[in-house]
Amino acid sequence: MDLKRVVVTGIGALTPLGNSVPDYWHGLINGVSGANPITLFDASKFKTRFACELKNFEPTDFLDKKEARKIDRFTQTALVCSDEAVKSAGISKNTVNPDRVGVIFSSGIGGLITFQQEVTEFAKGDGTPRFNPFFIPKMILDIAAGQISMRHGFRGPNYAVVSACASSTHAIMDAFNLIRLGKADIILAGGSESVIKEAGVGGFNAMKALSERNNEPQTASRPFDKDRDGFVIGEGAGMLVMESLEHAIARGANIVCEIAGAGATADAHHITAPHPEGLGAKNVMFATLDDAGMKPEDIDYINVHGTSTPLGDISEVKAIQAVFGEHAYNLNISSTKSMTGHLLGAAGVIEAIACVLAVKNDIVPPTINHFTDDEGLDPKLNFTFWKAQKRTVRAALSNTFGFGGHNASVIIKKYSA
């Protein structure tokens, strides 16, 4: 069958660099770090005492106070982000067929803050069960997708995708496939995460996954640096409004870029560590190029998973060199996690948005916080250290990998009629 082309017509972003798409992009191209000491709880006794929190975010500035209390912070950020995306796309339930507009919105963990609060309060009591009636609806990670559909009145396909840190890239992939198969005209795709709480930070600390560079948090996220010591946890949300090309043209939409292809694989190796040779990462990039009908030479920029962990950064670079060969030296490579931190289930979509904006503006955002070369990485590769670089970006590849060995990639390219 003939597959429909899929374009992006709207974007929303709520990140540690800013509470809108323009603010996010400004932070990215200017190499701003979103890391600061934790304010969302008392972290004084924790091994890691900093994170990439949202700045000046007050949910009740956007949501009714009574309604805001009924939803977890990860859903609050999802709703706020959806408002920006829907507005930028110029759609509403009155201007498009709401039965043909879906929401596929993910989270890696969901309502951990709510879960911790409810269980902690129960443990303080005498054993009598006194739980908030909204406990379960606040906690389940599919609720953000449901709440977004209710807020905007969209009745098309609606569900969540869960694959740890690859979740929102899988959401984009599912949206892409449903639209090109003709199952929907428009899908709001993305993800949100907010787990900067005792259980979240303590849990990742116990795994030794987080940086403990407490005296210099803004330089703690160091992808590709010899002295990297773990990722910096972040929070936020992102959304792409994805639409069939024919539907976008028919309504006179502003087309930002095109989704060219997507892929998914598994490492089948370890619960948290990547395959040492980047096998799953290599396979997912090959699969994504094949899905897009593109060659390695067609890609100009890769936004890598690049979490700043000792094993992960090296295995991903090995995979890139295996896939792209000599063309790897013509690529710009960068990890925007050096600025945003790691937004877990929302990482994929905010990094896809970075690719969208790189393609739109012909600017590659940098990898900041590089101080010492890692002898395990090829120095001839262009990791876009410290400063954004202007170049024509015909197409960009975004990689995301999740605990459990889940890999997902998406290619975003310039739109041409």
Give the whole-angstrom CA distance, residue 144 versus residue 168: 12
Catalytic-residue membership of 327: no
152-156, 195-199, 289-293, 307-311: lowest mean pLDDT where? 307-311
- Show the beta-strand stretches assigned E in 38-181: 50-51, 101-106, 158-159
Q: Is residue 320 predicted with pLDDT exceeding 80? A: yes
**What are the beta bridge partners of residue 408?**
264, 400
Q: What Å distances lie between residue 56 and 15, 24, 72, 346, 406, CA to CA?
A: 11, 14, 18, 19, 33
User: Which pLDDT value is given to residue 15?
Assistant: 98
Torsions phi, psi for 217 (to 5 deg): -60, -35
208 Cβ contact partners less than 8 Å away, ≥ 6 residues apart: 230
Q: Is residue 277 predicted with pLDDT exceeding 90? A: no
Q: Which listed residue (165, 257, 370, 406) is catalytic?
A: 165
User: Which pLDDT value is given to residue 131?
Assistant: 96
Q: Which listed residue (152, 305, 370, 406) is catalytic?
A: 305
255 Cβ contact partners less than 8 Å away, ≥ 6 residues apart: 7, 8, 9, 245, 248, 249, 415
Q: Which residue from 75, 78, 95 is spatially nearest to 349, judged by alpha carbons?
A: 78
Catalytic-residue membership of 257: no
The pairing of beta strand 301-303 with beta strand 257-266: unpaired
User: Which pLDDT value is given to residue 276?
Assistant: 85
User: DSSP labels for 297-357?
Assistant: GG--EEE----S-HHHHHHHHHHHHHHHGGGGGG-EEE-THHHH-B-GGGHHHHHHHHHHH
User: Which pLDDT value is given to residue 6?
Assistant: 98
Res. 129 pLDDT band, cuts 50 70 90? very high
This prediction has a pTM of 0.97
Q: Which listed residue (247, 275, 342, 406) is catalytic?
A: 342
Q: What Å distances lie between residue 241 and 187, 280, 347, CA to CA?
A: 6, 28, 17
Catalytic-residue membership of 165: yes
pLDDT digits (tens, 9 = 90+) for 76-125: 999 999 999 999 999 999 999 999 999 999 999 999 999 999 999 999 99
Give the whole-angstrom CA distance, residue 243 versus residue 240: 9
